[in-house]
């Protein structure tokens, strides 16, 4: 899909995850049954508009309660999303990714990828291990829920949740709860915002534990960018145009955005769902395949808009 | 990129840092001021007052941003290449060649030794980290601020050491790779580029892995629904998680 179409999908996802528009006016969060389901991307469930749960927040809370209940539900959902989409979620279905890409458009000098950034990408696994898994589990055994990543680090929660709720006059009472924790998290939010302006998707690359989890499914995910090794001539243009720290197309750092597809001189890269090609190099497309693609896209968009309309109605009545 | 565009981009970069620093400063100052008089440090009024003071800064930022965007638009966009990594370039050169020259073999051996040394170093650095994380005593206090501070203080030196080691080895390896590339080019190897890894596709094994993961995922979800895990997610999500959003 062209960047234009990918941007539309990102906007659609952001709107779908935050369809409780009434919440932005009333200052209250959605309390419907939809919140039992985790959305695939990073979206704080304390955002006034959120209609689903954040997978990372749900995972931490589930691990924190593992003394009383095995956290199979959240793990099962993450396994399912990882299997189907892997890090395609990052490229298409994550509002945090969308915001980072928009921030990166601010025309400042940019930090290019290098060996240092490649090594820094490992830090998100440290955050995953320590703040998402170890701390919530240990305190879970003591019946004290500590969603450590959410509580001490998550900039998405600070932005969507805190700023989203505090900007509404109905939540005046929440101001008295702001203290050291908020100060620290707000400074982290500003730091990461700055990083994202100077480095492409800095949060995704260096800090996002959800991206770290989905990256583990790089070899098995069904939907995403695939490389035809028999056609590939190893010219390296795909790696050179990619702004993520990939070693090769489709590895654990690849967000399957498809920006490499048109750069391949032998059309070895395509965007697939299983064996079905959803997008290939424009030069490879015939008039017939373009027509077929248009029909499929029209059908998919109609279905998507129907789903969005249903969710908007159900979450705002 | 014209000189004007370059200057505007640099100015915007500096301005961005300045604006973010100003916002951080305000936040920290408000907290300190409120804390000093034992009052809630933040309120809509005092935040608004501070932000109003920043309005000229914001306006200036928008002006510089607009100028930078317009100046960049006039130049049009050029396709940017971020460069092929030395490793990928070498991988392709090696595919084009038969037996490697002796100098190239030496560089390969050097990198193998360095990688083993790095693996040993990382294993060494991970021991105290894992020992700390796996010890429940370090997470027995309910004074979470102290626990988290201790966690950061204990792990940071080892993580920094691991990062520095990895970076050092990466740079030495890159220098070695560049030397090997020069050697291979001298031996008239023509093909240059970057590559996908030489991993043969095993679609049977892939399908089996996908099927297993799918079965486990569906089973786990079903179990979660039955044992009340889904209900737990709902209950957590329909209440504002004040901890999660930094409200304490």
User: What pLDDT does B37 receive?
Assistant: 72
User: How far apart, in whole angstroms, are the C-alpha atoms of residue B204 and residue A303?
Assistant: 33
User: What pLDDT does A283 receive?
Assistant: 64
How many other C-beta atoms lie within 10 A of the C-beta of residue A294?
10
Going through A251-315 in order, the beta strands assigned E by DSSP cover: 269-273, 276-279
DSSP category for residue B199:
P
Beta bridge partners of A247: none
A239 contacts B80? CB cut-off 8 A:
no
Using a 10 angstrom Cβ sphere, with 0-12 exposed, 13-18 middle and 19 or more buried, the burial of residue B216 is middle
pLDDT tens per residue across all 248 residues of chain B: 688 888 999 999 999 999 999 999 999 998 888 777 766 778 888 888 888 989 999 999 999 999 998 888 766 555 455 566 677 778 777 776 667 788 888 999 999 999 999 999 999 999 999 999 888 888 888 888 888 899 999 999 999 999 999 999 999 998 999 899 888 888 765 544 444 455 455 688 888 999 999 999 999 999 999 989 999 999 999 988 887 777 76
Which residues does chain B have within 8 Å of residue A147's beta carbon, measured at their own beta carbons?
241, 243-244
User: How far apart, in whole angstroms, are the C-alpha atoms of residue A110 and residue A198?
Assistant: 5
Using a 10 angstrom Cβ sphere, with 0-12 exposed, 13-18 middle and 19 or more buried, the burial of residue A38 is buried
Going through chain A in order, the beta strands assigned E by DSSP cover: 223-227, 269-273, 276-279
Contact between residue A262 and residue A6 where contact means Cβ atoms under 8 Å apart:
no
- Residue among A134, A190, A194 minimizing CB distance to B133: A134
**Both tokens assigned to A157:** 């929660």
Give SS3 for A154: coil
Question: What is chain A's Cα-based Rg?
Answer: 20
Whole-angstrom CA distances from B44 to A179, A313, B4, B58, B241 are 14, 32, 41, 19, 21
**Both tokens assigned to A259:** 């920006």
CA-nearest residue to A231 within chain B is: B196
- Residue among A134, A194, A220 minimizing CB distance to B209: A220
A222 contacts B245? CB cut-off 8 A:
no
User: How far apart, in whole angstroms, are the C-alpha atoms of residue B11 and residue B230?
Assistant: 51
Contact between residue A191 and residue A203 where contact means Cβ atoms under 8 Å apart:
no
Please name the residues in contact with B236: beta carbons below 8 A apart, sequence gap of 6 or more: A45, A53, A57, A58, A61
Determine phi and psi for B76, rounding to 5 degrees.
75, 175
How do strand A223-227 and strand A269-273 relate by DSSP bridges? antiparallel
ipTM value greater than 0.95: no
**Both tokens assigned to A16:** 């779908």
Contact between residue A29 and residue B196 where contact means Cβ atoms under 8 Å apart:
no
Lowest mean pLDDT among A214-228, A270-284, B172-186, B223-237: A270-284
DSSP category for residue A278:
E
Lowest mean pLDDT among A3-7, A250-254, B156-160: A3-7
Contact between residue B181 and residue B100 where contact means Cβ atoms under 8 Å apart:
no
**What's the average model confidence in pLDDT over A243-249?**
90
- Residue among B43, B224, B243 minimizing CB distance to A175: B43
Contact between residue B217 and residue A80 where contact means Cβ atoms under 8 Å apart:
yes
Which residues does chain B have within 8 Å of residue A70's beta carbon, measured at their own beta carbons?
223, 227, 229
Determine phi and psi for B190, rounding to 5 degrees.
-90, -35
Q: In 3D, which of A201, A206, A247, A200 has the Cα closest to residue A227?
A: A247
Contact between residue B88 and residue A236 where contact means Cβ atoms under 8 Å apart:
yes
pLDDT digits (tens, 9 = 90+) for A129-179: 999 999 999 888 888 888 999 999 999 999 999 888 988 888 888 888 888
Best mutation target among A37, A72, A315 (most B Cβ atoms within 10 Å) is A72
Using a 10 angstrom Cβ sphere, with 0-12 exposed, 13-18 middle and 19 or more buried, the burial of residue A88 is buried
- Residue among B167, B194, B229 minimizing CB distance to A69: B229
A240 contacts B81? CB cut-off 8 A:
yes
- Interface residue B72 vs chain A (CB under 8 A): yes
User: How far apart, in whole angstroms, are the C-alpha atoms of residue A307 and residue A301?
Assistant: 10
Q: Which residue has the higher pLDDT, A53 or B140?
A: A53
DSSP category for residue A199:
S
User: What pLDDT does B80 receive?
Assistant: 56
A194 contacts B20? CB cut-off 8 A:
yes
Q: In 3D, which of B32, B59, B47 has the Cα closest to residue A169?
A: B47
Please report which confidence band the pLDDT of residue A15 belongs to, taking 50, 70 and 90 as the band edges: very high
First to last CA, chain B: 48
Please name the residues in contact with B110: beta carbons below 8 A apart, sequence gap of 6 or more: B176
Best mutation target among B62, B167, B246, B248 (most A Cβ atoms within 10 Å) is B246
CA-nearest residue to B42 within chain A is: A175
Whole-angstrom CA distances from B209 to A160, A215, A219, B234 are 36, 16, 10, 31
């Amino acid at each position: 899909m062209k960047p234009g179409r990918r941007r539309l999908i990102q906007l659609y996802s952001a709107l779908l995850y935050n369809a409780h528009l009434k919440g932005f006016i009333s200052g209250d969060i959605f309390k419907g049954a939809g919140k039992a389901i985790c959305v695939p991307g990073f979206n704080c469930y304390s955002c006034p508009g959120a209609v689903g749960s954040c997978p990372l927040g749900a995972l931490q809370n589930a691990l924190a309660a593992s003394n009383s209940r095995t956290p199979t539900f959240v793990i099962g959902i993450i396994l399912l999303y990882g299997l189907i989409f892997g890090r395609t979620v990052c490229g298409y279905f994550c509002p945090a990714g969308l915001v980072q890409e928009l921030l990166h458009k601010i025309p400042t000098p940019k930090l290019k990828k290098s060996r240092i950034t490649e090594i820094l990408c490992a830090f998100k696994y440290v955050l995953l291990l320590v703040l998402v898994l170890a701390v919530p589990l240990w305190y879970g055994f003591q019946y004290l829920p500590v969603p450590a990543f959410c509580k001490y680090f998550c900039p998405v929660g600070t932005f969507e949740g805190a700023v989203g709720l505090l900007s509404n006059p109905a939540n005046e009472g929440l101001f008295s709860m702001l203290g050291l924790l908020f100060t620290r998290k707000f400074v982290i939010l500003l730091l990461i915002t700055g990083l994202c302006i100077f480095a492409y998707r800095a949060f995704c690359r260096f800090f996002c534990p959800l991206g770290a989890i989905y990256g583990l499914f790089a070899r098995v995910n069904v939907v995403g960018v695939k490389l035809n090794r028999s056609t590939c001539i190893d010219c390296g243009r795909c790696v050179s145009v990619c702004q993520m720290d990939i070693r090769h197309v489709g590895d654990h750092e690849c967000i399957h955005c498809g920006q490499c597809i048109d750069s391949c001189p032998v059309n070895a890269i395509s965007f697939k769902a299983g064996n079905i090609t959803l997008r290939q190099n424009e030069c490879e497309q015939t008039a017939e395949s373009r027509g077929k693609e248009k029909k499929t896209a029209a059908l998919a968009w109609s279905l998507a808009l129907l789903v969005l309309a249903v969710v908007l109605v159900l979450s705002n009545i | 990129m014209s000189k004007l565009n370059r200057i505007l981009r640099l100015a915007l970069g500096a301005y961005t840092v300045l604006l973010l620093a100003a916002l951080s400063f305000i936040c920290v100052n408000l907290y300190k001021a409120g804390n000093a008089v034992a009052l809630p440090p933040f309120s809509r009024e005092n935040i608004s007052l501070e932000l109003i003071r920043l309005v000229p800064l914001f306006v200036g930022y928008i002006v510089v941003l607009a100028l930078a965007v317009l100046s960049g638009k006039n130049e049009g966009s050029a396709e940017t290449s971020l460069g092929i990594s030395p490793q990928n370039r070498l991988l392709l050169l090696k595919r084009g060649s038969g037996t490697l020259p002796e100098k190239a073999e030496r560089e390969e051996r050097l990198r193998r030794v360095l990688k083993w040394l790095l693996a040993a170093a990382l294993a060494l650095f991970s021991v105290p980290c894992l020992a700390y994380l796996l010890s429940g005593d370090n997470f027995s206090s309910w004074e979470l601020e102290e626990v988290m501070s201790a966690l950061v203080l204990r792990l940071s030196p080892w993580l920094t050491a691991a990062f520095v080691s990895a970076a050092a080895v990466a740079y030495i390896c890159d220098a070695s790779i560049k030397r090997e590339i020069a050697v291979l080019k001298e031996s008239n190897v023509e093909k240059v580029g970057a590559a996908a890894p030489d991993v043969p596709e095993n679609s049977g094994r892939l399908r089996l892995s996908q099927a297993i993961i799918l079965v486990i995922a569906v089973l786990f979800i079903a179990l979660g629904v039955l044992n009340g895990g889904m209900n737990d997610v709902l209950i957590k999500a329909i209440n504002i998680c004040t901890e999660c959003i930094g409200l304490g």
